[in-house]
Structure 1
Amino acid sequence: NASALTIVSTLHETSYDSKEMGLCPGGERFCEQPLANVEERLFNIEDSAFQAQWGVHSMELQPINPELFDDIYANSAGFVGEQTTNSNGEAVFSVASVSTYIIIAEYIWTDPTGASWTLYKGRYVTPSKFRDTNRDREKDTASVVMAIAKDSKSKSGVNSIEVGSRNTQVLTDSPIGPTGAFISTLGTGNVFIAAVIILGILAIIILLAPRKAKGKIRGRKRG
């Protein structure tokens, strides 16, 4: 039954408040909370209009560049529907058939300085995610979870927001700053390159450092 096909998206934020900046209720150091009233849009990436606009993509072989999420969100190519998350952070979409979809959430966040940021988080829904939930031997429901992390400790990684640094860093799939300018994300490749450079510098410092003479100085005790 095509009308029974649904996609359930759950959006939440995880906060690590090691600096006690009030990210979590009750002064807790860690919390996980659903994100309510966040708009999400669903697109069929196998749709011919979507592929004509953005190219042919797949989650495994040719994922969509996250920097395009904001443009895709604002475009109608391949658009299926829009929902707003409820108090549990859930949004439920109805789809006509099993296909490959992408859900893009538009999350507006105000940083500690009062500046407003718009973040775009995307999650794929592949055919393998659809399950038979009513035991009629037909796939009817797919479920996906999206998370945005906030951390008051210096921490580099995709899909996280560093709170409390001198210049708040927004590291998500596709962040847009207050002026609309795109902010470069820090991915795992850049982290690896930075780590290699740091280790190389440390190795040079160790090699150039003066070494102490090995062994003990032996002598006779004079009585």
Structure 2
Amino acid sequence: MPIKAILTDIEGTTSAVSFVFDVLFPFAARHLPEFVLARADEPEVATQLDAVRRDSGEPDASVQRVVEILLGWIAEDRKATPLKALQGMVWEQGYQAGQLKGHVYPDAVEALRRWKQEGYDLYVYSSGSIQAQKLIFGCSEAGDLSPLFSGYFDTTSGPKREADSYRRIASAIGRPGEEILFLSDVVQELDAAREAGLQTVGLAREGGVLDGHETVASFAVIDLARF
């Protein structure tokens, strides 16, 4: 069955891992304390702070303590949904102020634009929040790429290394798994997607092979016609 939709990871796939670890995470770590302390009473922020208290097992934690927990989670790169949401809010301020520009590899930009023109539906699935995903592509170095995408998925759809997450996404997209191609640089994610019935291609931008999956170093050499 031919591919009709493409679901892509961001970090290490469309975008450099270094952008996330060397630019976005330090920006969030610097600005998150001030952001949280200034806006803790706003409903959208307060909801996420309560989620941090719940997830950390500290239901009575002060706002200052919640900030400490969040900074610890950033340091250990924890895939916590409330952290991702709050990071997204901080990054949004940075993008709007022109302090941040999303990194997307030129080969990914070219391929995504071409695939969109050819009629493929494009989707994103990343451990970063949907808000953060939209900011990377909407405020990218290549301009506003958000019109290319038909939808975004994050950890609210489930962990990226579990097959059920991909089944939920396929259901949300409204296509059988075999019509969806998933792109990622992590073999466990590719394994989970394949278990759910999706087609897969691995990205190894520094070379190498992602065991069990067709592996390429660039979007430019992905041939959708062969699926």
Superposition TM-score tier, normalisation by shorter sequence = under 0.3
Structure with the largest fraction of helix: 2
Structure with the largest fraction of strand: 1
* TM-score in terms of structure 2 length: 0.26
Higher relative contact order (CA 8 A, sep 6+): 2
Structure with higher Rg: it is 1
